[in-house]
Structure 1
Amino acid sequence: MTLADQPPAAALVFQTLLAHGPLTRAEAGRRTGLSPGAVTKVATPLLADGWITELGRPTVERANGRPATLIAVRAERARFIGVKVTADELIGVLVDLTAQPLAARRARLGSRDVGTVVLAIARLVTQLRKAAGFERAGQEGGGQAGGGDGDGRHGDLQHEGGRHEDDVHSIGVTISGDVDGHTGTVQYSPFLNWRRVPLAQLVETATGTPTVIENDVRALTVAEQWFGAGVGLSSFALVTVGAGIGCGLSIGGRVVSGAHGVSGEVGHLPVGGTDRICTCGNTGCVEAVASTHAITEQARQATGDDELTMDQAVRLAHAGDPAVRAVFARAGHTLGLAMASVANLIGPERIIISGEGVASYDLFADQIRQTFADHAFGAAADCDLVVRPLPFEEWARGGAAIAAQRVFAPSK
């Protein structure tokens, strides 16, 4: 039995335990709005099927002073793999049901060809399985049949149509661009130059493991909602600064995916003030001014050095070069406008700023905050801005979180 077979109340209790557990049944009821009897009713099959467990150490209920048993998600019940795809590298993690990392690996991409990338993902999945000590029998990256190690071990832990508890339940692949998670299709990824690629099906065929895909920023937003800086917030936004400018939105506890798989594209907000052409083909986009590529190009123009790198531009700015510092100031102003637009539109409690570009955040932090304060409307200016550098392993972990989320919320 899967969590998808359970009633909505069971999924609600499970998600509550995942985010806030271990809890007593009474506390789970208070947090979900369910009666103690309802919590007990939905918890019984979850306990029987091994999704949750009783910890066996009683705690004292505050309301009545009587001992009560804690229930918690059984972390080893399912494992997931998350893979982040960049233009030149794969980053993979294997996690348990509570998204705790068990193994991590990276692999360089020699080509952006779809077939080459899919094969590289399959090899990375095999490496992660080996690192965790439960690689299944079968060919590496060659359409392995689903379920079990094939050697008879842990036969008593078999679940869900032959899948063993010590195997990978599913894979979540994240990629930048226009990604339709519902159909499993990369509609357009500018950095890979992919259009209408059925990536979920290709990876599933290559690995023999159920696969979902998602936009990388939305996946990272799910990760922040579950176990990062968004835990417990009713609404927040995640703005990522790097090769592109992305934004994930969590409103009312749900990450917004958009009717057509497109949402939060603040990198393509037309802020004007520039004739620079964006990767999308339009002019005046935030990304055309504030992405790391755009900053590098503008710094080259400002210095007359066509070979200048981003790292060199950062060093020049730190050394006080006025022309290069002006480039970072323009980027900060543009990002401040984008964040003010997000605050004005959805009124989040917090905007988390992340991505590889935050390594140079100190160069435009003041300008971002000043522009944000100038353009956020009324109380929207009280929105908390938090800088949170995150390695790509955390982005991959977001892919694993997406895969795990589909177990108990497959319609999301």
Structure 2
Amino acid sequence: MFQPPTFTRGSIGSPAEATVITTVLTRGPISRVDIARMTGLSQAAVTKAARPFIDAGYIEELPNRERTAGAGRPASPLAFRADREFFVGIKITSDELIGVVTDLRAQILHSRHRTLGSHVFDHVAAQIVDLVGELLGHDPAYRERTHCMGVALSGDVDRASGTVRYSPFIGWKDVELAAHLTRATGLITTLENDVKALTVAEQWFGEGVDTATFALVTVGAGIGCGLVVGGQVVGGAYGVAGEIGHVPVADGGPPCHCGGRGCVEAIASTEAIVAASRRAAGRENLTMDDAVALARGGHEGVREVFSRAGHAIGLGLAAMVNLVGPERVVVSGEGVANYDLFEEQIRQTFVAQAFAAAAKCPLSIRPLPFEAWARGAAAVAVQTLFTL
């Protein structure tokens, strides 16, 4: 019979526990010897930190597969039971909700989409509650073993208080969303900026697992950037660190919704590309798909729009790499599907503007399904549960 959850937010009691638990979660199966080697803890400290989680059924000891170096005893690797607990992740966009159920390793088990007919808070909150009910109703185990939820959306989000300070795509300011959803769903809710949530998923379960400093840049409706420095996601004193979308790269350029001019996002976001392509093609109803088709078909004016967008992104990437010095940069987002139209300009501009050896920083291009945004929100909930 399934045990009720023993650990809730704030249950991790020491840095050693946090280190051991996150190491097993992100790198397991892994032996105590390897954990000790990686973390600098003694094997006794590793065993002490892992024991409560083994007893509660979160961690299991796998059958002996190898012998510890020089000890003459078989090693029993430690691994998280991925189905010990489930998590809900919700991504709020301007026109829909994307919801997923994941396991402890943030692997998507079930997903649903729901159209938003309004940005009014009461409507959106009610739709989220209904979506959570649908997700958990898919499998009795989900309802029984789900206690935490992550919610992600674009904009200025205060994770500590669970408040949306400003979200331009849905027009919210100073909305206390997390507390409301916790009361309405019974799930402990963590709120995070969507790009930072994706960064957490990458840090714990993707390319960032063995990287102390890296950046995740998203290209699409907005231009976002999440930064990990010294193994920690950087929010900054005002919670907006990494906003390369609002780095000015064109003096006197087009106005941006942030109030500035010439921002990367004002030139390279989906909305900016569509607006510029309409002017270039002389077609008022042109869509992004139309713009892509024209550019790939050789329309010089529209191709130049994508080239300018690539130049702006390359400048933003170079500025970020020069300032932060990440080991690698992952470029993702829905706009990556059209990456062929501005890849050359991005790379040329980046190499030209990155300082000295920083130009060698690898750019890893990864398409991003929409469900990955919701997965990022769930990863934030996982992280919240297992960190100090």
Q: Per-residue CA shift, 1:187-243, capped at 9, x if unaligned?
A: 000000110000101211221211010000000011111122322112111111111
1:105 is matched with which residue: 87, 103, 112? 112
Q: Is the 8 A contact 1:336 1:371 kept in 2?
A: yes
Paired residue for 1:264? 242
- Identify if the C-alpha distance between structure 1 residues 363 and 54 changes in structure 2 by more than 3 Å, giving closer, same or farther: same
- AA matched with 2:376: G
- Identify if the C-alpha distance between structure 1 residues 274 and 333 changes in structure 2 by more than 3 Å, giving closer, same or farther: farther
* SS in structure 1 of the partner of residue 208 of structure 2: coil
Matched residue count: 381
> How far off is 1:274 after superposition?
4.4
* SS in structure 1 of the partner of residue 211 of structure 2: coil
- AA matched with 1:255: V
2:325 equivalent to 1:321: no
**Whole-angstrom distance in 1 between the partners of 2:340 and 2:251:** 23
* SS in structure 2 of the partner of residue 264 of structure 1: coil
2:19 is matched with which residue: 12, 17, 22? 12
- AA matched with 1:354: S
Q: Is the 8 A contact 2:60 2:79 kept in 1?
A: yes
**Whole-angstrom distance in 1 between the partners of 2:311 and 2:335:** 15
Q: RCO higher in 1 or 2 (8 Å CA, sep ≥ 6)?
A: 2
**Whole-angstrom distance in 1 between the partners of 2:142 and 2:44:** 41
**Whole-angstrom distance in 2 between the partners of 1:11 and 1:399:** 20
**Whole-angstrom distance in 2 between the partners of 1:280 and 1:63:** 61
* SS in structure 1 of the partner of residue 271 of structure 2: helix
2:82 is matched with which residue: 75, 84, 88? 75
Alignment of 1:389-400 (within 5 A): 389-400=367-378
**Whole-angstrom distance in 2 between the partners of 1:388 and 1:308:** 27
- Identify if the C-alpha distance between structure 1 residues 224 and 80 changes in structure 2 by more than 3 Å, giving closer, same or farther: same
1:228 is matched with which residue: 206, 218, 228? 206
- Identify if the C-alpha distance between structure 1 residues 274 and 314 changes in structure 2 by more than 3 Å, giving closer, same or farther: farther
* SS in structure 2 of the partner of residue 276 of structure 1: coil
2:59 equivalent to 1:52: yes
Paired residue for 1:87? 94
- AA matched with 1:93: V
* SS in structure 1 of the partner of residue 138 of structure 2: helix
**Whole-angstrom distance in 2 between the partners of 1:60 and 1:390:** 40
| Percent identity (aligned) | 54
Per mean C-alpha deviation after superposition, the further-off stretch among 87-96 and 272-281 is: 272-281
Paired residue for 1:184? 162
**Whole-angstrom distance in 2 between the partners of 1:201 and 1:133:** 25
Q: Provide the alpha-carbon RMSD of the alignment.
A: 1.4
Ranges in structure 2 where 5+ consecutive residues have no aligned partner: 1-5
Paired residue for 2:3? none
**Whole-angstrom distance in 2 between the partners of 1:197 and 1:215:** 14
Per mean C-alpha deviation after superposition, the further-off stretch among 366-375 and 22-31 is: 22-31
2:336 equivalent to 1:361: no
Alignment of 1:296-315 (within 5 A): 296-315=274-293
**Whole-angstrom distance in 2 between the partners of 1:379 and 1:373:** 10
2:137 equivalent to 1:130: yes
Paired residue for 1:148? none
Q: Is the 8 A contact 2:246 2:263 kept in 1?
A: yes
Q: Is the 8 A contact 1:223 1:398 kept in 2?
A: yes
* SS in structure 2 of the partner of residue 23 of structure 1: coil
2:185 equivalent to 1:207: yes
**Whole-angstrom distance in 1 between the partners of 2:114 and 2:77:** 41
**Whole-angstrom distance in 2 between the partners of 1:174 and 1:378:** 36
**Whole-angstrom distance in 1 between the partners of 2:30 and 2:70:** 14
1:2 is matched with which residue: 1, 4, 7? 7
Q: Is the 8 A contact 1:222 1:401 kept in 2?
A: yes
- Identify if the C-alpha distance between structure 1 residues 15 and 314 changes in structure 2 by more than 3 Å, giving closer, same or farther: same
**Whole-angstrom distance in 1 between the partners of 2:278 and 2:376:** 35
Q: Is the 8 A contact 1:81 1:172 kept in 2?
A: yes
TM superposition score normalised by structure 1: 0.90
Q: Per-residue CA shift, 1:263-292, capped at 9, x if unaligned?
A: 111010011244311111211111100001
TM superposition score normalised by structure 2: 0.95
Paired residue for 1:217? 195
- AA matched with 2:327: E
Q: Per-residue CA shift, 1:158-190, capped at 9, x if unaligned?
A: xxxxxxxx3212110000000111110000000
Q: Is the 8 A contact 1:247 1:266 kept in 2?
A: yes
Q: Is the 8 A contact 2:152 2:377 kept in 1?
A: yes
Paired residue for 1:159? none
Q: Is the 8 A contact 2:251 2:261 kept in 1?
A: no
> How far off is 1:41 after superposition?
1.6
- AA matched with 1:15: T
